[in-house]
């Protein structure tokens, strides 16, 4: 029998055994480099576990700080909305109305029933309070829309990355003789690029069908 060529000078038994194992599996050239596992280092594990979380936290804090740079009216609207939604706001108004009515029940009342001055003050307060609350809600809706758009973009990027990883895995499987598609018939479907418009159109059609079914059931029950 003809023996294999001698290992290069300086190569130890571990290197020769690793090369033999790669040759036996049919992993030569770039495929062997891709499949070769590099020994883990403590610093690498620390970087992969902590750095991404710290980076995401910093990015979120940066976005929140950018949102804090708002106009004076926006800050005032946030404060008024926060105060108006608290329990103390209702307690103060209950006390205010009770004292006002009790004082003006006397003969020397400055606002006798039906308390026109009190009604005027409450109406003006309601108008101003409504404006502040609506402004705060509008800004909150804008921030929510921005976060939803950011979430959508991140999800789309994640989907593209997963598709690219699946294609690489299928290429490696074809190189080593493994039929990846046989493991799951949906692999070929997942390998294709996701059509966002088609998914949105399908979602609209399903919602329309569901609403039509609910309306038909309501008419039948009525």
Q: What is the pLDDT of residue 18?
A: 44
Q: How high is the mean pLDDT of the chain? A: 77
- Is the alpha carbon torsion for 109, 111, 115, 119 positive or negative? negative
pLDDT band at 53 (very low <50, low <70, confident <90, very high): low
Mean pLDDT of all residues in 125-129: 94
pLDDT in tens, 106-120: 888 899 988 999 999
Q: What is the pLDDT of residue 74?
A: 85
The answer, yes or no, to whether residue 210 has pLDDT greater than 50, is yes
Q: What is the pLDDT of residue 66?
A: 67
Query: Higher pLDDT residue, 174 or 89?
Result: 89
pTM of the model: 0.55
Q: What is the CA radius of gyration of the chain?
A: 35
Q: Identify the top-confidence range among 4-8, 46-50, 93-97.
A: 93-97
**What is the phi-psi region of residue 177: left when phi exceeds 0, alpha when psi lies from -120 to 50, beta otherwise?**
left
pLDDT in tens, 64-117: 776 667 788 888 888 999 999 899 999 999 999 999 999 999 888 899 988 999
Q: What is the pLDDT of residue 52?
A: 67
The answer, yes or no, to whether residue 162 has pLDDT greater than 50, is yes
């Amino acid at each position: 029998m003809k023996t294999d060529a001698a290992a290069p000078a300086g190569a130890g038994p571990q290197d020769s055994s690793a090369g033999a194992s790669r040759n036996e599996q049919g992993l030569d050239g770039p495929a062997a480099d891709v499949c070769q596992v590099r020994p883990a280092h403590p610093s690498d594990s620390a970087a992969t576990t902590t750095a991404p979380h710290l980076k995401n936290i910093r990015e979120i804090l940066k976005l929140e700080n950018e949102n804090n740079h708002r106009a004076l009216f926006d800050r005032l609207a946030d404060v008024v909305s926060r105060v108006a939604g608290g329990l103390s706001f209702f307690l103060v108004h209950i006390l205010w109305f009770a004292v006002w009515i009790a004082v003006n029940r006397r003969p020397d009342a400055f606002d006798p029933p039906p308390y026109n001055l009190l009604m005027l003050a409450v109406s003006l307060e309601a108008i101003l309070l409504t404006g502040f609350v609506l402004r705060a809600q509008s800004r909150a809706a804008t921030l929510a829309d921005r976060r939803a758009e950011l979430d959508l973009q991140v999800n789309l990027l994640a989907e593209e990355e997963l598709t690219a990883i699946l294609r690489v895995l299928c290429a490696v499987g074809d190189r080593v003789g493994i039929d990846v598609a046989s493991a799951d018939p949906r692999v070929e479907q997942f390998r294709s690029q996701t059509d966002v418009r088609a998914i949105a159109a399908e979602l609209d059609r399903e919602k329309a069908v569901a609403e039509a079914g609910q309306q038909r059931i309501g008419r039948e029950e009525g």
